[in-house]
């Protein structure tokens, strides 16, 4: 496949989610506490592992493992690790987080990947099952950073119809119920914060920017209709469906002894 056969992948994004530089810095500062004298990080659904790379930079004695199924993202993470002199402390593995046998670790990151931790036959929301897995994977006195969707308000039938196929109210909890579920799973919420509208707009626009640029210069490409339909569907789902309805919470969690 040549460079013009498809758009580049997510080159406008630093993080694979609505996360600003300022918030990422604060998340790293809080999560790095158990790594002051070394330790391990486990990043589930890591993508290109940007937050883990920053954790390793903040904790020079720590090592990390990231798992994800997208080979191109993993290679991007490996290239970044080499460029930052962190390659000998980071292992990125092409595998699913479902039923993972990795861990326990001192810090566990799960940003937008909690659905991968659920049992195959579980009904949504999958939050309780995911939190139970995360509780098992983190060491005593460690930290879990969970990035998870929640409803900012109950979506209308029209909004649900504009979202992803089969979207329903029961897929997500409210923010309060999400924090309560973390407590029920054996955590104390050290910090609860949510992505701002600006972070969402940066992410959603950056997510499609490569595609939009490619479509503007490849309008007659054999794949243009397919790529255009996918991009238009995604943009419509955001602007007509989950914008200001679906939130992302970042919970920094401490396991209870």
User: What does the domain layout of the chain look like in residue ranges?
Assistant: 21-196+247-255
pTM over 0.85: yes
Report the chain's mean pLDDT, rounded to a whole number: 95
SS3 29: helix
Alpha-carbon distance 118 to 111, whole Å?
Answer: 14
Alpha-carbon distance 170 to 167, whole Å?
Answer: 9
Please give the full DSSP string across 151-174, using - where no structure is assigned: ESSPPPHHHHHHSSTT--GGG--B
Cβ contacts of residue 152 below 8 Å, gap of 6+?
A: 175, 244, 245, 246, 247
Give yes or no for residue 28 having a pLDDT over 80: yes
15-29, 108-122, 186-200, 239-253: which has the minimum mean pLDDT?
Answer: 108-122
**What percent of the chain is predicted at pLDDT more than 90?**
93
What does the pLDDT read at residue 3? 52
Q: Kindly state the tokens that stand for 80.
A: 């970044």
CATH number attached to the domain at 21-196+247-255: 3.40.50.150
> Mean pLDDT across the stretch 43-47?
97
∠ CA 25-95-166 to the nearest 5 degrees?
A: 80
Q: Kindly state the tokens that stand for 179.
A: 């924090």
> Mean pLDDT across the stretch 209-228?
96
* Closest to 221 (Cα-Cα) out of 5, 38, 63: 5
What is the enclosing helix (H) or strand (E) of 106? strand 105-111
Per residue in 177-199, pLDDT tens? 999 999 999 999 999 999 999 99
* Closest to 41 (Cα-Cα) out of 96, 94, 86, 95: 86
> 114-150: b or e for each residue (b if 16 or more CB lie within 10 Å)?
bbbbbeeeeeebbbebbbbbbbebbbeebbbbbbbbb
Give yes or no for residue 1 having a pLDDT over 90: no
């Amino acid at each position: 496949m040549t460079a013009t056969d498809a758009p580049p992948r997510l080159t406008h994004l630093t993080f694979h989610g609505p996360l600003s530089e300022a918030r990422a810095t604060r998340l790293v500062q809080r999560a790095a506490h158990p790594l002051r004298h070394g330790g391990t990080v486990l990043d589930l659904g890591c993508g290109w592992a940007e937050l883990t790379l920053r954790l390793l930079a903040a904790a020079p004695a720590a090592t990390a493992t990231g798992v994800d199924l997208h080979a191109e993202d993993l290679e991007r993470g490996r290239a970044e690790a080499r460029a930052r002199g962190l390659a000998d402390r980071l292992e990125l593995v092409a595998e699913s987080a479902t039923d993972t046998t990795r861990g326990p670790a001192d810090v566990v990151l799960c940003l937008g990947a909690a659905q991968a931790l659920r049992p195959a036959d579980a009904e949504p929301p999958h939050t309780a099952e995911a939190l139970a897995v995360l509780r098992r994977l983190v060491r005593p006195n460690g930290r879990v950073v969970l990035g998870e969707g929640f409803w900012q308000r109950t979506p209308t039938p029209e909004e649900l119809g504009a979202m992803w196929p089969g979207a329903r109210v029961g897929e997500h909890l409210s923010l309060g119920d999400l924090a309560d579920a973390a407590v029920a799973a054996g955590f104390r919420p050290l910090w609860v914060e949510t992505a701002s509208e600006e972070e969402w707009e940066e992410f959603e626009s950056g997510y499609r920017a490569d595609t939009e640029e490619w479509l503007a210069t490849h309008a007659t490409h054999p794949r243009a209709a397919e790529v255009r339909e996918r991009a238009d569907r995604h943009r419509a789902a955001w602007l007509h469906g989950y914008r200001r309805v679906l939130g992302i919470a970042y919970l920094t969690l401490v396991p209870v002894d």
